[in-house]
Amino acid sequence: MRPSSLLLGVCVLALAGCQTQPKTNYAPLDQSGMWSSSVDQLKKLNVTDLEIAQLSKLKQVGASDDFCLALLKAAREHHHDFSNADAAIQLSQAGYSDEQILEMARSDQIDILSGEAITLKLIGLSNPTVQAIIHRRIEGLPTLTSEQIGRLKNTGMSEKQILDLVNQGLSNDQAEKLIAKREASRNHSNTSFVRNRGRRSR
């Protein structure tokens, strides 16, 4: 085969490959109510079909365009696709603000932190206490788990006392020993012997 024919064949194959490459479908974003200007920004970021599905899910529950874009960019800063829509939605439904959710996303720990963060809300801790605990987790500092905090509350420990313990940075072993001691004390106090002073029979 002559060189010119070989070159022509390579060009034809290259063109055929370009024509068969599937195009990214941005229609779901339009249908979800995202502004065209936001879609244009996403096109520049070369979003994948998976990311479009994730962003559409967020838009369907009322997330703003700015929030969606910020979450996507946070994931890209850590060199991976955005796939955390479910975690963001669950955190929002638990009462977390967009900024609080973004802080978790920017630390690249949103999936790891979301379950604990939601449980802390369910336990009944105030927002400042929850934020203090989440910040410690983001910074990688020793922190009581939500399960340990729940057990401490069940022994009658106040929120202030729990937060003081959290700030002490107890290791897991130290926390477990303290909790076990308080649980044993509580259980013992509930089984104290009470003498029955009934009337004597004649």
What does the pLDDT look like over 59-118, one tens digit per residue? 999 999 999 999 999 999 999 999 999 999 999 999 999 999 999 999 999 999 999 999
> Contact at 8 Å (CB) between 89 and 58?
yes
Three state DSSP letters for 117-158: HHHHHHHCCCHHHHHHHHHHHHCCCCCCCHHHHHHHHHCCCC
Q: Is residue 176 predicted with pLDDT exceeding 60? A: yes
Token pair for residue 21? 């490459």
**Which pLDDT does position 21 carry in this prediction?**
54
**Which pLDDT does position 1 carry in this prediction?**
47
What does the pLDDT look like over 103-113, one tens digit per residue? 999 999 999 99
pLDDT grade, residue 192 (50/70/90)?
Answer: low
**Which pLDDT does position 187 carry in this prediction?**
87
What does the pLDDT look like over 42-56, one tens digit per residue? 999 999 999 999 999
Integer Cα distance of 73 and 114 in angstroms: 19
- Segment holding 46, helix H or strand E: none
Average pLDDT value for residue range 26-45: 94
Domain boundaries along the sequence of the chain: 33-109
Nearest to 159 by CA among 186, 136, 133, 129: 129
Q: Is residue 12 predicted with pLDDT exceeding 50? A: no
pLDDT grade, residue 199 (50/70/90)?
Answer: low
The 8-class DSSP code of residue 101 comes to: H
pTM above threshold 0.85? no
pLDDT grade, residue 22 (50/70/90)?
Answer: low
**Sequence-ordered list of residues with C-beta below 8 angstroms from that of 50, at least 6 positions apart, any chain:** 81, 83
Average pLDDT value for residue range 165-171: 93
Q: Is residue 24 predicted with pLDDT exceeding 90? A: no
| Block residue for tokens 């420990």 | 157
**Which pLDDT does position 138 carry in this prediction?**
92
